[in-house]
Amino acid sequence: MKWLLLLSLVALSECYIYKVPLVKKKSLRKNLMEQGLLQDYLKTHSINPASKYLKEAASMMATQPLENYMDMEYFGTIGIGTPPQEFTVIFDTGSSNLWVPSVYCSSPACSNHNRFNPQQSSTYQGTNQKLSVAYGTGSMTGILGYDTVQVGGITDTNQIFGLSETEPGSFLYYAPFDGILGLAYPSIASSGATPVFDNIWNQGLVSQDLFSVYLSSNDQGGSVVMFGGIDSSYFTGNLNWVPLSSETYWQITVDSITMNGQVIACSGSCQAIVDTGTSLLSGPTNAIASIQGYIGASQNANGEMVVSCSAINTLPNIVFTINGVQYPLPPSAYVLQSQQGCTSGFQGMDIPTSSGELWILGDVFIRQYFTVFDRGNNQVGLAPVA
């Protein structure tokens, strides 16, 4: 069974109900000072500053491997508690909360997934706070607690996270992952919970206030999230930086979407979020319907938008122009191939915002472009994958 993952869309109402102020990020110097490590750092860097800094920076980058599940979902394993209890989670740049199933949950979706047991962790601290998160598909309610999280080989202490009590519906029951680890801004975190990356940075556990993502294609391995660093071996050329238009999701402005030099959608610019938690490339239903027509997609009896597999060799690139730079999507990227045939990588979904309808640059896009999510400078970096 294939699951279409549209996890990223924390209900827009929640974005405003739970809005919290953004906290100014600390510098590396301030982090080191607070940890009592500044003098040692300066001492060890005085003889050969360049090489020592590179060595230090490399040691403060955490690499989290991800599993590619049918090119539809990417998840990795984390540990929560002392001793660690293991969970597979989606690393989702379209939401901001960490949550996993718990022993308090009686929903069918919890019965066939790993469940966190607070009584088996010596470092768990409970709260009376409630948590409720809704996604494009699936939702959860539960309580918030604090514990140690092992992610990417580093230890994130005193991390707030959700323990699910209900996970209604069938989507999460069939999901091959346990929970979700949100990587968007604190401003859209439900119940004002501090996101994992913010907590990692505030503890001085990484040397750069950014993380980067590589998603493999064709069910291949090697997908990673790199906290605190950029590995240039994953991309070609230079990173192009795109300023954020909103510090909520990783939201940017797209100039236009063209095919053969003609605008086919997003005329006069549109807003989009770069979202690892969404499988396809989504946009307003009318605009997507036009694109489906351009690529010859038609709906089958199961509601899937099917495309002739032979069209992959004849269809043109669809080009997303972002901040003046062209990012072509070849037909091999936007036509999804499987043993059952070929389907469109585009899906219509109307998400109204104050700045217009929202597009979602999901995994279909990110597989083609190594992406850096730069919190320190509120920008996204994009470069073609190697």
Helices (H), 225-318: 285-294
* Contact between 246 and 184 (Cβ < 8 Å): no
Structure token pair of residue 186: 């604190």
Whether residue 147 lies in the annotated active site: no
* Contact between 121 and 204 (Cβ < 8 Å): no
**What span, in angstroms and rounded, lies between the C-alpha atoms of 134 and 132?**
7
Half-sphere exposure of 295 (CA within 13 A, CB side): 35
Report the b/e string of 98-129 with b at 16+ CB within 10 A.
Answer: bbbbbebbebebbeebbbbebeebeebeeeee
Pairing mode of beta strands 305-306, 298-299: antiparallel
Q: Which of 92, 147, 156, 374 is catalytic?
A: 92
Structure token pair of residue 318: 């669809």
Q: Which of 147, 275, 363, 374 is catalytic?
A: 275
The one-letter amino acid at 356: G
Report the b/e string of 171-182 with b at 16+ CB within 10 A.
Answer: bbbebebbbbbb
Whether residue 275 lies in the annotated active site: yes
| The length of the chain, given as a count of residues | 386
Catalytic residues: 92, 275
